[in-house]
A and B are shown apart, each in its own frame.
Chain A
Amino acid sequence: EAQVTQNPRYLITVTGKKLTVTCSQNMNHEYMSWYRQDPGLGLRQIYYSMNVEVTDKGDVPEGYKVSRKEKRNFPLILESPSPNQTSLYFCASSRGTPSYNEQFFGPGTRLTVL
Protein backbone atom coordinates (compact mmCIF):
# COMPACT_ATOMS: atom_id res chain seq x y z
CA GLU A 1 0.00 0.00 0.00
CA ALA A 2 1.33 3.42 -0.99
CA GLN A 3 1.79 5.46 2.12
CA VAL A 4 3.71 8.03 4.12
CA THR A 5 4.48 6.96 7.68
CA GLN A 6 5.52 9.11 10.61
CA ASN A 7 6.79 8.15 14.04
CA PRO A 8 6.02 8.77 16.75
CA ARG A 9 2.36 9.74 16.38
CA TYR A 10 2.28 11.39 19.79
CA LEU A 11 5.15 12.79 21.84
CA ILE A 12 5.36 14.74 25.06
CA THR A 13 8.81 16.03 25.91
CA VAL A 14 10.56 18.72 27.88
CA THR A 15 12.34 21.87 26.78
CA GLY A 16 15.83 21.26 25.45
CA LYS A 17 15.65 17.50 25.01
CA LYS A 18 16.65 16.68 21.43
CA LEU A 19 14.14 14.68 19.43
CA THR A 20 13.66 13.29 15.94
CA VAL A 21 10.40 12.67 14.12
CA THR A 22 10.84 10.15 11.34
CA CYS A 23 9.09 10.22 7.98
CA SER A 24 9.22 7.51 5.36
CA GLN A 25 7.48 7.02 2.01
CA ASN A 26 7.30 3.93 -0.19
CA MET A 27 6.30 5.60 -3.46
CA ASN A 28 9.78 6.51 -4.73
CA HIS A 29 8.83 10.17 -4.54
CA GLU A 30 11.50 12.78 -5.12
CA TYR A 31 9.85 15.66 -3.23
CA MET A 32 9.29 15.57 0.52
CA SER A 33 8.20 18.28 2.89
CA TRP A 34 7.48 19.00 6.54
CA TYR A 35 4.58 21.18 7.69
CA ARG A 36 3.33 22.29 11.05
CA GLN A 37 -0.32 23.02 11.78
CA ASP A 38 -1.38 25.44 14.48
CA PRO A 39 -4.88 26.64 15.40
CA GLY A 40 -5.78 29.82 13.57
CA LEU A 41 -2.65 29.69 11.42
CA GLY A 42 -3.24 26.71 9.19
CA LEU A 43 -0.46 24.62 7.72
CA ARG A 44 2.97 26.16 7.20
CA GLN A 45 5.99 24.65 5.49
CA ILE A 46 9.09 24.06 7.63
CA TYR A 47 11.56 22.43 5.22
CA TYR A 48 11.40 20.66 1.92
CA SER A 49 13.62 18.39 -0.14
CA MET A 50 13.65 18.13 -3.91
CA ASN A 51 15.79 14.98 -3.89
CA VAL A 52 18.48 13.12 -1.98
CA GLU A 53 20.96 15.52 -0.33
CA VAL A 54 18.92 18.54 -1.54
CA THR A 55 17.04 20.38 1.19
CA ASP A 56 15.87 23.94 1.63
CA LYS A 57 14.04 26.15 4.09
CA GLY A 58 10.32 26.72 3.99
CA ASP A 59 8.42 29.51 5.70
CA VAL A 60 9.15 28.62 9.34
CA PRO A 61 12.51 26.77 9.54
CA GLU A 62 13.83 28.28 12.80
CA GLY A 63 14.56 25.65 15.44
CA TYR A 64 14.39 22.69 13.03
CA LYS A 65 16.85 20.63 11.02
CA VAL A 66 16.29 18.01 8.35
CA SER A 67 18.36 15.56 6.35
CA ARG A 68 17.74 13.54 3.20
CA LYS A 69 20.32 10.78 3.00
CA GLU A 70 17.99 8.30 1.36
CA LYS A 71 15.14 8.94 -1.03
CA ARG A 72 12.50 7.34 1.18
CA ASN A 73 13.36 9.02 4.50
CA PHE A 74 13.13 12.65 5.60
CA PRO A 75 13.54 13.02 9.37
CA LEU A 76 12.72 16.23 11.23
CA ILE A 77 15.14 17.09 14.03
CA LEU A 78 14.49 19.44 16.93
CA GLU A 79 17.90 20.00 18.54
CA SER A 80 16.57 21.97 21.50
CA PRO A 81 12.77 21.94 21.53
CA SER A 82 10.90 24.85 23.04
CA PRO A 83 7.22 25.22 24.03
CA ASN A 84 6.47 27.28 20.91
CA GLN A 85 7.22 24.17 18.87
CA THR A 86 4.20 22.43 20.38
CA SER A 87 2.19 21.67 17.27
CA LEU A 88 0.79 19.05 14.91
CA TYR A 89 3.40 18.06 12.34
CA PHE A 90 2.80 16.54 8.91
CA CYS A 91 5.23 15.01 6.50
CA ALA A 92 4.20 14.92 2.84
CA SER A 93 5.66 13.55 -0.36
CA SER A 94 4.99 13.89 -4.07
CA ARG A 95 6.50 12.77 -7.33
CA GLY A 96 7.78 16.28 -7.91
CA THR A 97 7.11 19.87 -6.95
CA PRO A 98 3.61 20.70 -5.63
CA SER A 99 3.22 22.92 -8.69
CA TYR A 100 2.31 19.90 -10.76
CA ASN A 101 1.93 16.96 -8.40
CA GLU A 102 -0.56 15.65 -5.86
CA GLN A 103 0.80 15.55 -2.32
CA PHE A 104 0.49 12.53 -0.05
CA PHE A 105 0.41 13.27 3.67
CA GLY A 106 1.50 11.24 6.64
CA PRO A 107 -0.88 10.70 9.58
CA GLY A 108 0.61 13.51 11.66
CA THR A 109 2.68 13.74 14.83
CA ARG A 110 1.25 15.62 17.78
CA LEU A 111 4.15 17.13 19.73
CA THR A 112 3.89 18.77 23.13
CA VAL A 113 6.94 20.51 24.58
CA LEU A 114 6.66 21.30 28.30
Chain B
Amino acid sequence: KNEVEQSPQNLTAQEGEFITINCSYSVGISALHWLQQHPGGGIVSLFMLSSGKKKHGRLIATINIQEKHSSLHITASHPRDSAVYICAVRYKYSGGGADGLTFGKGTHLIIQP
Protein backbone atom coordinates (compact mmCIF):
# COMPACT_ATOMS: atom_id res chain seq x y z
CA LYS B 1 0.00 0.00 0.00
CA ASN B 2 1.20 3.52 -0.78
CA GLU B 3 2.68 5.33 2.18
CA VAL B 4 2.69 8.90 3.42
CA GLU B 5 5.93 10.09 5.00
CA GLN B 6 6.12 13.03 7.39
CA SER B 7 9.11 14.82 8.79
CA PRO B 8 10.18 15.60 11.35
CA GLN B 9 8.52 13.11 13.70
CA ASN B 10 9.10 15.41 16.66
CA LEU B 11 9.78 19.13 16.75
CA THR B 12 10.37 21.42 19.71
CA ALA B 13 10.67 25.15 19.08
CA GLN B 14 10.51 28.44 20.91
CA GLU B 15 7.52 30.73 20.81
CA GLY B 16 7.65 33.00 17.77
CA GLU B 17 9.65 30.68 15.55
CA PHE B 18 8.65 29.83 11.99
CA ILE B 19 7.67 26.16 11.78
CA THR B 20 7.75 23.87 8.77
CA ILE B 21 6.36 20.34 8.67
CA ASN B 22 6.85 18.22 5.57
CA CYS B 23 4.79 15.52 3.90
CA SER B 24 5.77 13.29 0.97
CA TYR B 25 3.66 10.79 -0.92
CA SER B 26 4.39 8.25 -3.61
CA VAL B 27 1.95 8.40 -6.52
CA GLY B 28 -0.88 10.50 -7.90
CA ILE B 29 -3.40 11.90 -5.45
CA SER B 30 -6.84 13.46 -5.63
CA ALA B 31 -6.39 15.56 -2.52
CA LEU B 32 -4.12 16.17 0.45
CA HIS B 33 -5.40 17.01 3.90
CA TRP B 34 -3.64 18.57 6.87
CA LEU B 35 -5.15 17.73 10.24
CA GLN B 36 -4.43 18.87 13.78
CA GLN B 37 -4.81 16.54 16.73
CA HIS B 38 -5.02 18.27 20.08
CA PRO B 39 -3.42 16.81 23.22
CA GLY B 40 -6.89 15.69 24.32
CA GLY B 41 -7.19 13.59 21.16
CA GLY B 42 -9.71 15.53 19.05
CA ILE B 43 -8.92 15.92 15.34
CA VAL B 44 -9.62 19.06 13.35
CA SER B 45 -9.25 19.53 9.62
CA LEU B 46 -6.93 22.45 8.81
CA PHE B 47 -6.64 22.35 5.03
CA MET B 48 -7.63 20.34 2.03
CA LEU B 49 -5.71 21.07 -1.15
CA SER B 50 -4.97 19.56 -4.51
CA SER B 51 -2.73 22.29 -5.93
CA GLY B 52 -1.02 25.54 -5.01
CA LYS B 53 -1.24 27.17 -1.63
CA LYS B 54 -3.80 27.95 1.05
CA LYS B 55 -3.59 30.29 4.04
CA HIS B 56 -5.66 30.53 7.17
CA GLY B 57 -4.48 32.93 9.84
CA ARG B 58 -0.92 31.98 10.77
CA LEU B 59 -1.09 28.66 8.95
CA ILE B 60 0.01 28.16 5.36
CA ALA B 61 -0.16 24.92 3.38
CA THR B 62 1.55 24.36 0.06
CA ILE B 63 1.65 21.44 -2.32
CA ASN B 64 3.98 20.62 -5.21
CA ILE B 65 2.30 18.01 -7.38
CA GLN B 66 5.38 17.32 -9.51
CA GLU B 67 7.57 16.68 -6.47
CA LYS B 68 4.78 14.86 -4.58
CA HIS B 69 5.42 17.00 -1.55
CA SER B 70 3.46 19.29 0.75
CA SER B 71 4.50 21.59 3.57
CA LEU B 72 2.60 23.06 6.48
CA HIS B 73 4.03 26.31 7.82
CA ILE B 74 3.18 28.07 11.07
CA THR B 75 4.25 31.70 11.39
CA ALA B 76 4.79 33.36 14.77
CA SER B 77 4.29 30.06 16.58
CA HIS B 78 2.54 30.02 19.95
CA PRO B 79 2.32 27.43 22.74
CA ARG B 80 -1.31 26.81 21.78
CA ASP B 81 -0.03 25.47 18.44
CA SER B 82 1.40 22.49 20.33
CA ALA B 83 -0.30 19.46 18.84
CA VAL B 84 0.21 16.53 16.49
CA TYR B 85 -0.05 17.55 12.83
CA ILE B 86 -1.14 14.82 10.47
CA CYS B 87 -0.86 14.72 6.70
CA ALA B 88 -3.35 12.53 4.84
CA VAL B 89 -3.80 11.86 1.15
CA ARG B 90 -6.51 10.43 -1.02
CA TYR B 91 -4.66 8.35 -3.57
CA LYS B 92 -6.25 8.30 -6.99
CA TYR B 93 -5.98 4.53 -7.20
CA SER B 94 -5.99 3.21 -3.65
CA GLY B 95 -7.02 -0.32 -4.49
CA GLY B 96 -8.44 -2.84 -2.04
CA GLY B 97 -11.82 -1.16 -2.06
CA ALA B 98 -10.80 1.50 0.41
CA ASP B 99 -12.14 4.94 -0.41
CA GLY B 100 -10.61 6.76 2.49
CA LEU B 101 -7.51 8.64 3.34
CA THR B 102 -4.00 7.30 3.86
CA PHE B 103 -2.44 8.96 6.86
CA GLY B 104 1.07 9.86 7.84
CA LYS B 105 2.19 8.99 11.34
CA GLY B 106 2.09 12.63 12.42
CA THR B 107 4.52 15.30 13.61
CA HIS B 108 4.48 16.00 17.32
CA LEU B 109 5.04 19.76 17.75
CA ILE B 110 5.83 21.44 21.05
CA ILE B 111 6.12 25.22 21.24
CA GLN B 112 7.83 26.39 24.41
CA PRO B 113 7.07 29.83 25.90
Contacts and interface: CB of A to CB of B under 8 A. Distances in A.
Interface of A: 33, 35, 40-45, 48, 50, 56-59, 88, 90, 92, 97-105, 107-108, 110
A107 B103 contact: no
A103 B86 CA distance: 13
Contacts of B103: 42-44
Query: Interface on chain A toward B: helix, strand, loop, or mixed SS?
Result: strand
Given A98-B31, A100-B31, A103-B101, A42 B106 contact: yes
Nearest to A43: B103
Contacts of B43: 90, 92, 105, 108
Contact of B45 (A33, A50, A104): A104
Contacts of A110: 41
Contacts of B98: 45, 48, 56-59
Nearest to A35: B100
Contacts, number: 71
B48 A33 contact: no
A45 B101 contact: yes
B30 A105 contact: no
Contacts of A42: 86, 103-106
A98 B30 CA distance: 9
A59 B41 contact: no
Contacts of B73: none
Contacts of A97: 90, 99
10 contacts: A33-B100, A43-B101, A50-B99, A58-B97, A58-B100, A59-B98, A90-B43, A99-B30, A107-B41, A110-B41
- Which 3 A-B residue pairs are closest in the complex by CB-CB distance? A45-B100, A99-B30, A105-B43
Contacts of A45: 98, 100-101
Given A43-B86, A43-B88, A98-B31, A88 B41 contact: yes
B105 A48 contact: no
Interface in B26-75: 30-31, 33, 35, 41-45, 48
